[in-house]
Amino acid sequence: MPDITATARAFTEARRGGRLLAGYPGTPPGDMATAYRIQDAAIESWPDTIGGWKVGRIPPPLEAQYGSDRLAGPIFRSNIREVADGAQATLSAYAGGFAAIEAEFVAVIARDAPAGQERWSLEQAAEMIAELRIGLELASSPLASINELGPAVTAADFGNNAGLVVGPAIAGWRERPLESLACEAFVDGVSVGKGGAFNLTGGPVRSVQFILELTAARGRPLRAGQLIATGQTTGIHAIEPGQSARVEFGEDGAVALVTTPFQED
């Protein structure tokens, strides 16, 4: 069995020190429950508060094995950048580790989730969304092979999250078809992927339903104002410190990011 505390310590010390991990620190978790135990231990030792959550897709061929279609990780307040339309933020990535950007639709939670409610319908989840905003996630980890080792390993290290850029709210999103919520991602000015909310199985609302249930079961119910990055919509696009990224959402605006090397605390 994985050593929960030792693994969590290895990840958090590497992240705080800007150091790389040559391999997974210990025995990789074989299920999501163990992965979230590692994640919870890391959260408890991390010197920041949770400002939101990233939700990622578990590939359909692996859903039965892991008992879920999605995974999640915390987004800490110090790693959230709220920007005006078209503005550029700065976030740090692990040079030599894993680093990528993802185009995101970001749900803003309207109110505190009731304590103890662990089952949510899609309709109830939709009512918990105050706004849907455009965004860009920076996925980065000191473990370069994190995404190659499976969903449980990704979840164990904060869901492979290193920050979130959040732009303006999308007007009238509830009445719009998912096909109209489209975007295109660029790295250093070169298009690397096109897509939209229609690439999210069940759409952004399904991701919010998932995270409402997961956080409640873990004793971390969602709070008003928390931000939910609902999942990549154009692909996972590699980036290195010093490079820039931009995601254009058509008439809904754009957000941009420049990455810098992670510095030790």
pLDDT of residue 121: 98
Local confidence pLDDT in tens for the 265 residues of the chain: 569 999 999 999 999 999 999 999 999 999 999 999 999 999 999 999 999 999 999 999 999 999 999 999 999 999 999 999 999 999 999 999 999 999 999 999 999 999 889 999 999 999 999 999 999 999 999 999 999 999 999 999 999 999 999 999 999 999 999 999 999 999 999 999 999 999 999 999 999 999 999 999 999 999 999 999 999 999 999 999 999 999 999 999 999 999 999 865 4
pLDDT of residue 161: 98
Strand 88-93 and strand 190-196: the pairing is: unpaired
pTM, two decimals, is 0.97
Distances in Å between the Cα of 193 and the Cα atoms of 24, 181, 232, 236 are: 30, 15, 11, 9
CA distances from 12 to 7, 42, 46, 156, 170 (A): 9, 6, 7, 11, 35
Residue 262: per-residue pLDDT: 82
